[in-house]
Structure 1
């Protein structure tokens, strides 16, 4: 195992540092976070952009109290304490065959001794949208 970061990992670290500086400067400015998320989604292409926009719509509808922000360049949504609850990771970021919608530790998805926190998304069907909405409602509770 290599002790050095890949080019993609180095870029992610640089982007995260830039995000943190911008977020610190903006404070808890919801409009700045929303603009950053919309900009991140606009930079995506094709299916990634379509999925990210759909997830953004769903999250903002079912959990309007979550604060939009970017997280390693991804569209993300945080709780009142500023902790990321969920985020969308496009397939193009790591050149994989599917995008994911993921949940961080503050998400209230606990279900016994083991539960999923990352979900692959290939399409936004009515069933997929319903499942995302259910997960977000639980996670943001």
Structure 2
């Protein structure tokens, strides 16, 4: 019998597998980056999207959207920090992408780790 976490992971993998290429491969790569960067986060479906939470019963902290553009977003649940620098008091919460290169992969990992810490 599968645990709740295993069922949730299966649902996320299934959701990703139903996406059309090349997005399916990109989202799968981002999923792998997220679970590697923050292995304590639990994949689950959140409002129909792949998402990642501290447990199967807590709100999602990070979501992956496959709309007109691919989007990595921080939900309203984690504490936000002002960006500083040229962005001053703005608090980044979403990033759009079409592909994932080495620099983007590192940035996604940083973003995900900042939500967990």
Taking structure 1 as the reference length, the TM-score comes to: 0.71
Q: How many residues align?
A: 110
1:74 corresponds to which residue? 49
Residues 2-43 of structure 1, C-alpha deviations (whole Å, 9 max, x = no match): xxxxxxxxxxxxxxxxxxxxxxxx9x7110110010000011
Radius of gyration: which is bigger? 1
Q: Which structure's residues are more often strand, by fraction?
A: 2
The answer (yes or no) to whether the contact 1:88–1:102 under 8 Å persists in 2 is yes
- Structure 2 residue runs of 5 or longer lacking an equivalent are 84-88
- The change in CA–CA distance for 1:48 and 1:108 in structure 2 (over 3 A counts) is farther
The answer (yes or no) to whether the contact 1:37–1:75 under 8 Å persists in 2 is yes
The answer (yes or no) to whether the contact 1:100–1:120 under 8 Å persists in 2 is yes
Q: Which has the higher contact order (CA 8 A, sep 6+)?
A: 2
Taking structure 2 as the reference length, the TM-score comes to: 0.85
Superposition CA RMSD, Å: 1.8
Q: Which structure's residues are more often helix, by fraction?
A: 1
